[in-house]
Amino acid sequence: MKRVVILASGSGSLAQAIIDDAEIGNQIVAVLSDNADALVLERARKSDIPTYVIEMKKDRKVWDGEIFDCIKDLKPNLVVSAGFMRILSPEFVETFPTINSHPALLPLFPGAHAVRDALAAKATETGTTIHWVDRGIDTGKVIAQARVSIFPGDDEASLHERIKEIERGLIVAAIKEVLPTLESRHG
């Protein structure tokens, strides 16, 4: 069995899609958040998945070290950033195979405000990208993408919700694609 760790900061709807998948759900060994109040932690607990909280520190290097050490102890084959709103250190992403879900068709609209940026650019479509995390910000190799039309009446909330609907299935499919290719680690 492979070992998956989910990183998430918020409500956890993306993490829930992964947890609910029969093929992947039983391979999740932990959910880690940087936010003690994140709803994703409750979602994980309801599924009997261990949770960890490592909130951001004033000293970023201390936080990077705490995240690294925690994940190292969990021995994951794959780390899934599912709405985790922090940049991971180069050492982290070079040690742990990590994928991320991004609400845009990369390389368009990288960064934390992709949906807002797509609307501001008056784009007619956007989408979601699952990609490998590297040292850059949303610059890793693309695993999968799906397109989402932008409608004239869309605002940030409505567009983001439509993207999330597509994103949930896409991240599950991407995990199923990459997980068998990763070496096994024993916990």
The tens-digit pLDDT sequence of the chain (187 residues) is 899 999 999 999 999 999 999 999 999 999 999 999 999 999 999 999 999 999 999 999 999 999 999 999 999 999 999 999 999 999 999 999 999 999 999 999 999 999 999 999 999 999 999 999 999 999 999 999 999 999 999 999 999 999 999 999 999 999 999 999 998 654 4
Q: What is the pLDDT of residue 183?
A: 80
- pTM here? 0.95
Active site residue 102: yes
Quote helix, strand, coil % in the chain, to nearest 5: 40, 20, 40
Question: Which amino acid, one-letter code, is at 151?
Answer: F
Computed from CA positions of residues 111, 115, 117, 123, in that sequence, does the dihedral angle turn out positive or negative?
positive
Catalytic: which of 102, 113, 160, 186? 102
Domain extent listing, the chain: 4-181
For residue 180, what is the DSSP state? G
Q: What is the pLDDT of residue 172?
A: 98
Q: What is the pLDDT of residue 187?
A: 46
Q: In 3-state terms, what secondary structure has residue 16?
A: helix
Taking alpha carbons only, the member of 79, 88, 71 closest to residue 179 is 79
Q: In terms of CATH, what superfamily is 4-181?
A: Formyl transferase, N-terminal domain (3.40.50.170)
Taking alpha carbons only, the member of 119, 143, 146, 139 closest to residue 131 is 143
